[in-house]
Amino acid sequence: MFLSDDLLLDYKRCQRRTFLNVCGDRAQKEPERDFLLKLRDENRQQIREILAEEVKYVQPQFKKGDWQEGAENTQSLMAEGVDVIYRGVLCGSGDRWQNSHLFEMSPIPSFTYLAKPTFLIKQPGMSVWGNWCYVPVNVKLGKKPKPEYKTIAAFHAYLLARVQGTLSPHAELILRGKKQYFVDLESWIPRMLGVLQTCEQMLADRAEPEVFISRQRCSLCHWAGYCHEIARAQNHLSLVPGVTPNRYESLQTLNINTLEALAALDPFVDPELLDSDTAIQLQQQARSLLENRPLLRPLSPHLSQRNFPSAPIELYFDLEAEPDRNVDYLFGILCVNHQTQTEKFYGFLAERPEEESLIWQQFLALLARYPGAPIFHFSEYEVDTVKRLTKLYKNTPFPLKTVLSRFVDLHHWVTTTATLPVESYSLKSLANWLGFTWRDSDIAGDRAVCLYDNWLKGGDRSLLETILRYNEDDCRATYHLKTWFEQFWTYRSSL
């Protein structure tokens, strides 16, 4: 079977994903998420911009899926000395290549390695064809040279060395903004071979890795729902907020494998495994989940002396942004007037990215209309954005310090005061726990980004209506959470 660079990349991110891609039940696999498709489109556009600058490049021709034919045609192009090969194919069997100390491993012969570097670039040097050789170049969307990028670059260089008879002087990454990065193969090939060997062994043994739910890592995976069901059935500790992979290893060392055992954890365990503050946090989180009730966190003297803000008129603020275009395109404000018992939503929407400055002024005008109203939000992003746009547009009609003093970060208040029986302290998780529901249950922040991108490309106004509805629900969820927390804070103050 083929062991491809795509499988190896998945393995670096999540071993279980590679296993399921090869051995899993396809019926359990979800469709690819819109945001992942958007990222792929952006990567293709990134590559197209680079191709437009190339004077000449050649792409090997072969039948779809016939990787051996693709590899043969790629080798023919390299033998001809073509300067730039786009989407070349490299194949190699699992036997050992002996010409360098870098390749000391014992591969499993049943695997055929498959790599598809973005470019193969001709350089002076010696190879089986003459006084030239090739360097693998990969184009990636990331801003930084992530370890998984370097691993795959080393894999490409490893296979290329087996074809051209010599190791490339380096491998190259082209990152966002056309930033170049050179991968040190002396360092990364041995690391890559270790990863490759463990990946091979897992697939050869059909050894299914343990489930571990990592919210950021799992968010774009098409096996996420399937793995989450298994984790819930097992009451897996990775569902406990605060249990990171490293902490999970520490808990296993301490023989803590169940929610009950975690709830009974001695806070003063070996500090090299878990410091006491972390142990107390995890113990309380497990108790909250087992008892299905909120628990009061120990409060610092500074926090316990603060008053939770409340006012006759309150504003609830949520932003929508398109990171790739570096634009905040929607400022949503829910104005709650407790005196008149009325609520009104304002959605300041930039139908084009260049309208950001306009909606910024509209947003500031609304804040000026209610100078005494606290501005509730859920995360640091809103504050960071206000700081950025104040600096960018230099036209705020009142001092930045005055505006920022009105902001109230509910996420900070909740997480420093209460431990709740939830799997995540995201707004959606907390509001759902409180019984709030979004009108469009399948929309999340990444999906809203895709909807806005599709609006810009196609002009379907229903997409804007969906985004506005989602943003309004985010504001209302923030209000719902604030109402509950205010009651919780009042109860805490009475203790």
Q: What are phi and psi of 41, to 5 degrees?
A: -60, -40
Instruction: Decide: 319 and 385 in contact? Cβ < 8 Å.
Output: yes
- Determine the residue type at 313: I
- For residue 122, list its beta bridge partners: 134
**How does pLDDT run across 311-348, given as a tens digit for each residue?**
999 999 999 999 888 999 999 999 999 999 999 999 99
Q: Is 241 part of any domain? A: no
pLDDT of residue 305: 57
Question: What is the CB neighbour count within 10 angstroms for residue 42?
Answer: 14
The helix (H) or strand (E) run that includes residue 346 is strand 342-349
Do 33 and 147 belong to one domain? yes
Do 199 and 318 belong to one domain? no
Do 343 and 200 belong to one domain? no
**How does pLDDT run across 161-211, given as a tens digit for each residue?**
999 999 999 999 999 999 999 999 999 999 999 999 999 999 999 999 999
Q: Is 54 part of any domain? A: yes
**How does pLDDT run across 356-407, given as a tens digit for each residue?**
999 999 999 999 999 989 999 999 999 999 999 999 998 777 788 888 999 9
- Determine the residue type at 385: T
38, pLDDT greater than 80: yes
Do 193 and 324 belong to one domain? no
The helix (H) or strand (E) run that includes residue 468 is helix 461-494
Do 346 and 465 belong to one domain? yes
Q: Is 297 part of any domain? A: no
**How does pLDDT run across 45-87, given as a tens digit for each residue?**
999 999 988 768 999 999 999 999 999 999 999 999 999 999 9
Q: Is 405 part of any domain? A: yes
Mean pLDDT of 225-250: 95
Q: Is 80 part of any domain? A: yes
Do 196 and 317 belong to one domain? no
Q: What percent of the chain has pLDDT over 90?
A: 82
Q: Which band of pLDDT confidence, cut at 50, 70 and 90, is reported for residue 109?
A: low
Residues 6+ apart with CB under 8 A from 40: none
- pTM attached to this predicted model: 0.88
pLDDT of residue 103: 54
Do 355 and 482 belong to one domain? yes
Do 198 and 329 belong to one domain? no
Q: Is 480 part of any domain? A: yes
Provide the number of structural domains found in the chain: 2
CATH number at residue 485: 3.30.420.10
Where among 151, 175, 205 does a domain terminate? Answer: 205
Q: Is 219 part of any domain? A: no
Do 196 and 323 belong to one domain? no
Q: Is 172 part of any domain? A: yes
Do 153 and 34 belong to one domain? yes
Do 167 and 315 belong to one domain? no
Do 345 and 475 belong to one domain? yes
Where among 158, 188, 205 does a domain terminate? Answer: 205
107, pLDDT greater than 70: no
Instruction: Decide: 288 and 420 in contact? Cβ < 8 Å.
Output: yes
Where among 184, 205, 226 does a domain terminate? Answer: 205
Domain of 140 in residue numbering reads as 2-205
Residues 6+ apart with CB under 8 A from 444: 428
